[in-house]
Amino acid sequence: MLSRKATAILLVVHAAAMLASQTEGFVPIFTYGEVQRMQEKERYKGQKKSLSVQQRSEEVGPADPAEPREDKQEVIKLTAPVEIGMRMNSRQLEKYQATLEGLLRKVLPSSQNAQ
């Protein structure tokens, strides 16, 4: 027979394996520090881009110097349809089915009215 200690260890390992199979875990790809560095780089790129745009607009100058300039934000419009997908197993689908149906009901009538 196995000793009590070995039996207890096997029981704990089995319980941990059962819990791990039931949870929907998330493993981050990037660490918090890496995400912060990437955000800082994006901000720096945005500042650098806005400075170069500002310098170009200063070189050209406004049409009427007495007229104040308005800074407009750049809007990106998609010309092709965009498809977003997600994968779910049957257990996740059962769990989130009502929520997904509600979201689809909200989105589909608005997109059908636009067409």
Q: Which two tokens stand for residue 75?
A: 């809007």
Q: What is the DSSP letter of 71?
A: P
106: pLDDT strictly greater than 60 = yes
CB 100 within 8 A of CB 32: no
The pTM of the whole model exceeds 0.85 = no
pLDDT of residue 23: 72
pLDDT of residue 115: 53
CB 69 within 8 A of CB 62: yes
pLDDT tens, residue by residue, 53-88 = 666 665 555 555 555 555 567 777 767 776 777 788
- Single-letter amino acid, residue 32: Y
pLDDT tens, residue by residue, 5-52 = 999 999 999 998 888 777 766 666 778 888 889 888 888 887 776 666
Greater confidence, 93 or 55?
Answer: 93
CA 115 and chain centroid, separation: 27
CB 96 within 8 A of CB 88: yes
- Single-letter amino acid, residue 48: K
CA separation for the pair 111, 100 (Å, rounded) = 16
